Structures are given as C-alpha cells and as structure tokens.
Amino acid sequence: MAGTATILEDDSTLSRLDRLYFRFEALLNLVGGLAIFALVLLATTNVLGRFLFSLPIDGYVDWVEQAMAFIAFLGIAYTHRLGGHIRMDIVISHLHGRLLWISELLSVILMLGVTLVLIYGSYLHFWRAYDIGDSSLDINLPTWPAKLVVPFALTVLALRLLLHLWGYARAIREGSEQPVAVPLIESAADVAAKEAESVFSEGRQERT
C-alpha cells in the first residue's frame, strides 16, 4: 500500500544528518513542483493561444517531454524518506522488533543495488546524448539536461538509502522498537484515526 510514515528524531548524528539531508530533498521536491506549475502555465498558454489567436507555442511537445524528467524524478528521494512509495507489506506488517528491521534492511540493500545499476545506465544514456548532441525533433532542444536529471535524482536517492541502512542497522544493534531517521509505516487504522482526529479538530476550531 502507499505508506504514511512517522519519522522520529533525536540528537544523534544520524538524526541530524537525516534532517539536514531532508531539507535538500525538500528543495528538489519543490523544484519538481515548480516544474509542474510551469507545465500547467505552458499548457494553458498553448490552449489559449491556439484558440484565440491560432498561435500555439512552438515546440510545446518538446518542452513537455523535457519537463517529464524533472517532474518524475526530483521528488523520488523525498517521497522515499517519508515512506510514501507504494509497497506490499502483507508479510512485514506482522513482523516486530529486530526481525522487522532486518527485513527492512534487506529491502533497502536490494533497492540500493538496483538504484546503483540504474545510476550507471542512466549516466551512460546522458553522456551519449551529450556527446552526440542529441536534440528534440521539433525545435531541437538539447535532451541532455533532462537526461542528466535522472542519474542525479537517483544518486540523491542512493544517499538517502545509505542513511536508511544506517538507521536500520542501528535499530538492529540496539533492539529499538522506535528507531530514528527511518520511516515507521503506520497501519490503516492508525492513519484513519489520525485523519479522524484532524477532521474533528478542524471542526472544533470552526465552531470556536
């Protein structure tokens, strides 16, 4: 399921690094959001220009294609830090303590391995586009900036995964039930309870 997570904090080096790195991830996520906003403005301008003046934006499709990389990848590490990616937790939802953290550690190791392979492949793809001067079909936009976003965003994700490896390894060593700097996935009942509490609190504020 799509996870909703709680991130605990303390004064440890791990937690401080986690909070500092999260600011960087949030900034990249903001850039991705601004790319979406810019794309909405571009689409609106294109539609109005075509409808009112028969003047669509030249190379509209090319700009959309380039923007997709920013939209799809810049928020990937931010989402992972919050435990927001879709995951199947039918089995691990029944695990607790060290057994749970061991399973999470193994999952992160697998994800890190896949991510490193993707970084290597996407970097080669970027370098090939840069080397041959690859460009879009309509207005000849260079494609390498968008292709560079992919290995860059995946590298940011890889560093986040390393922080999570540290967090899970620390939890295994200490036998902690509530480790810091890792997403603690909440059950559907916990999420529903929090949403209900939020609705009730908003209702009380409106009445006052």
18 lies in a domain? Answer: yes
For 159-201, the pLDDT digits (tens) are 999 999 999 999 999 988 889 999 887 666 666 666 677 667 6
Listed in sequence order, the DSSP H helices in 2-140 are 13-53, 60-73, 76-81, 97-132
Predicted pLDDT at 188: 63
Give the total number of structural domains in the chain.
Answer: 1
What is the identity of the amino acid at 23?
Answer: R
Predicted pLDDT at 69: 95
Predicted pLDDT at 204: 66
pTM summary value:
0.87
Phi–psi pair at 5, nearest 5 degrees? -125, 155
203 lies in a domain? Answer: no
**CB 92, CB 104: distance < 8 Å:** yes
93 lies in a domain? Answer: yes
100 lies in a domain? Answer: yes
Range(s) of the domain holding residue 166? 5-196
204 lies in a domain? Answer: no
201 lies in a domain? Answer: no
CA dihedral 92, 95, 98, 104 (to 10 degrees): 10
208 lies in a domain? Answer: no
Task: Of 67, 64, 68, 84, give the one whose Cα is nearest residue 76.
Answer: 84
Q: Over range 71-87, report the average pLDDT.
A: 91
206 lies in a domain? Answer: no
State the angle between helix axes of 13-53 and 144-174 in degrees (0 to 180), rounded to the nearest 10. 150
**CB 71, CB 36: distance < 8 Å:** yes
For 125-151, the pLDDT digits (tens) are 999 999 999 999 889 999 999 999 999
Measure the CA–CA gap between 204 and 208, rounded to whole angstroms: 6
Measure the CA–CA gap between 203 and 196, rounded to whole angstroms: 11
